[in-house]
Amino acid sequence: MDAEDRIALFLDYENLALGVRDHHGGRPFDFRPIADALAERGRVVVRRAYADWSYFDEDRRMLTRSHVELIEIPQRMGATRKNAADIKMAVDAVELAFERDYLSTFVICTGDSDFTPLVYKLRELNKRVIGVGVENSTSALLPPACDEFLYYDRLEGVEIPATAGRRGRPGRVSAPEAPQPPEPEPQPVAEESARDVDTLAVLVAQTVAGLQGGTSGAVTASGLKRTLLRKDPTFSESDYGFRTFGELLRYLAEHDVVELAEGPAKGDPEVSLPERGDPEAAFALLRSVVADLAGGGAVALSGLKDQLRRARPDFSEKKLGYRSFLQFCKAAATSGVVDLRWSPDTDDYLLTPRS
């Protein structure tokens, strides 16, 4: 019990409810998918929703059945009730952060960028912050501020209208009178999905390589997932068709992108890049990529490593014993694979392939 995260949940109810109704074909907001998602992350000990409940009378019963405390923000003459609800919610969250040391995670359910300063303040107070919002009504400023951001539309149990799209899988436009045409087009979806997984493989390989180079300890699956969320708080393996992060790692291991070994805790394996101990093969890869990019000219060192990883996601100069990518390129130049020179005009190293 003591190892569990204690979660405080705050719902900007008007923002959520109107966002769902506007973008989900008039469907009512359902709290259960959020409750289920948070149950997987810890123990929710505070649940508060803020609104003028005279506008959401039908939703009261649904929330009270889920043990959500309803904070009434009545509309007053000459005052904006939405701003009053936002201010009250922010004040309560900061107050709890100071008064309840046992609260480790704050969940802010809104898509309103006005709550971004609140997220920053909570993180300054050493609290983990999870955001929840409706995808099409969430400000682009809010998700990057959070430790993790969950789109309501992608949660298990949320019914998505047929016309709604998801990240990496844009919805097709079809005529209203012919709802069946998307059915005969499975191949583009499969190709899009394959490209998504290829991109994900590059991201995971790059992240593992960076963690291995920046720490002397083992890289665990849980540590890798936390790092991916720091890079992109909206990251979710389910967007790529995997039920769990472990299933994703097993898929990448089967395709020789990573290697898995028994970790310090059950269900938390160590993750590493496959050993690639042949420097000659790596030099040949470098020459091939430089030749493709050069087109008779020279290629700048900046950004070249990303091009190599697109060609081979598991590339890492550290696996070959080099401290940096520049050191690896200098070794390749010494071996006669490429020419490497400093260019004052571009303020960068330039590489050209040798014949």
State the fold for domain 197-272: Nucleotidyltransferase; domain 5 (3.30.420)
User: Helix (H, G, I), strand (E, B), or coil: what is residue 301?
Assistant: coil
What are the phi and psi torsion angles at 287 (to 5°)?
-60, -40
Residues in CB range of 324: below 8 A, 6 or more apart? 317
Q: Please tell me the CATH superfamily of domain 6-154, with its number.
A: 5'-nuclease (3.40.50.1010)
Answer yes or no: same fold for 6-154 and 279-353. Answer: no
Q: What are the pLDDT digits (tens) for 61-115?
A: 999 999 999 998 876 545 455 678 889 999 999 999 999 999 999 999 999 999 9
Name the residue ranges covered by the structural domains of the chain.
6-154, 197-272, 279-353
Tokens of 257: 């992108």
Task: For residue 29, give the DSSP letter.
Answer: P
Q: What are the pLDDT digits (tens) for 164-187?
A: 444 443 333 334 444 454 544 444
Q: Please tell me the CATH superfamily of domain 279-353, with its number.
A: LOTUS domain-like (3.30.420.610)
Question: In degrees to the nearest 10, what's the CA dihedral of 82, 87, 89, 94?
Answer: 160
User: pLDDT digit of tens for each residue in the chain (355 aa)?
Assistant: 456 789 999 999 999 999 999 888 888 899 999 998 888 788 999 999 999 888 888 899 999 999 999 998 876 545 455 678 889 999 999 999 999 999 999 999 999 999 999 999 999 999 999 999 999 999 999 999 999 999 999 888 887 765 544 444 333 333 444 445 454 444 444 444 444 777 888 888 878 877 776 655 688 999 899 889 888 888 888 888 888 999 999 999 888 888 898 888 888 999 988 766 678 888 889 999 999 898 878 999 988 988 888 888 878 776 676 767 888 899 899 888 999 999 988 889 999 998 7
Residues β-bridged to residue 105: 7, 128
Given strand 43-51, what is the order of strands in its sheet? 69-72, 43-51, 6-12, 105-109, 128-133, 148-151
pTM for this model (two decimals) = 0.62
Pairing mode of beta strands 148-151, 105-109: unpaired
